[in-house]
């Protein structure tokens, strides 16, 4: 009887620790997305508005298209991670929509995508991190989708560093914390 009680208490303690770890992860994700939003805004502000159409090479996205791609990636990947519906603009082909590529529109959609990520994460049930989700041919845990979402926005923001430098502007300093 004592052994069974001991293992039951051990299991309960383990479950409580696991739940606390998931909440800690969720809190850190929210902080990181808030920081990433502020950092990305610095990038948006660094590029002159009349240069948003600039391409480092003809065969790649413009600065505006990179940021729109980043924004739609935020929405799509966070939606996959959390199961929350995307905003109506989240699935439209904005990279090829001229009106979406103006500086004001790019700023709106990009910052709105971070707001979507942050608010969605705040309402996310952290006990679901380990659930598997399938999107297209890919299947991964909700936690993995969240990590991919953060990786994706970091990658595309980083690509725009070259665009800013090619315009003779110093890009924003790194923000790790």
Task: Identify whether 177 is part of a domain.
Answer: no
d(CA 72, CA 91): 7
Phi-psi region of 92 (alpha: psi -120 to 50; beta: other; left: phi over 0): beta
Stretch (H or E) spanning 161: helix 142-166
Task: Identify whether 52 is part of a domain.
Answer: yes
- By residue count, the chain amounts to 177
Task: Identify whether 40 is part of a domain.
Answer: yes
Task: Identify whether 23 is part of a domain.
Answer: no
Q: How confident is the model at residue 17 (pLDDT cuts 50, 70, 90)?
A: low
d(CA 34, CA 32): 5
For the chain, what is the domain count? 1
**89 CB-near residues (< 8 Å, 6+ apart):** 109, 112
Q: Determine the pLDDT at residue 152.
A: 98
Which domain CATH number covers 67? 1.20.120.450
Task: Identify whether 48 is part of a domain.
Answer: yes
- For residue 129, give the nearest of 33, 26, 15 by alpha carbon: 26
Please write the tens of the pLDDT for every residue from 42-77: 999 999 999 999 999 999 999 999 999 999 999 999
Task: Identify whether 3 is part of a domain.
Answer: no
The whole domain housing 139 covers 28-166
Please write the tens of the pLDDT for every residue from 88-142: 887 788 999 999 999 999 999 999 999 999 999 999 999 999 999 999 999 999 9
Report how far Cα 105 is from the mean position of its chain's Cα atoms.
Answer: 18
Task: Identify whether 60 is part of a domain.
Answer: yes
Task: Identify whether 112 is part of a domain.
Answer: yes
User: SS3 of 97, please?
Assistant: coil
Stretch (H or E) spanning 15: helix 2-46
Model-wide pTM > 0.85: yes
């Amino acid at each position: 009887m004592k052994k069974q009680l001991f293992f039951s208490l051990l299991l309960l303690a383990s479950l409580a620790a696991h739940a606390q770890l998931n909440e800690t992860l969720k809190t850190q994700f929210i902080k990181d997305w808030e920081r990433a939003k502020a950092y990305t805004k610095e990038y948006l502000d660094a590029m002159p508005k009349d240069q948003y159409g600039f391409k480092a090479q003809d065969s790649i996205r413009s600065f505006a298209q990179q940021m729109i791609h980043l924004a739609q990636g935020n929405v799509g990947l966070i939606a996959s991670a959390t199961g929350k519906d995307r905003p109506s603009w989240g699935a439209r082909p904005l990279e090829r929509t001229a009106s979406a590529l103006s500086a004001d529109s790019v700023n709106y959609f990009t910052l709105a995508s971070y707001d979507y990520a942050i608010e969605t994460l705040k309402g996310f049930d952290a006990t679901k991190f380990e659930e598997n989700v399938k999107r297209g041919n890919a299947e991964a845990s909700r936690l993995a989708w969240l990590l991919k979402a953060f990786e994706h926005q970091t990658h595309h923001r980083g690509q725009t560093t070259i665009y800013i430098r090619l315009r003779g502007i110093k890009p924003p300093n790194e923000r790790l914390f």
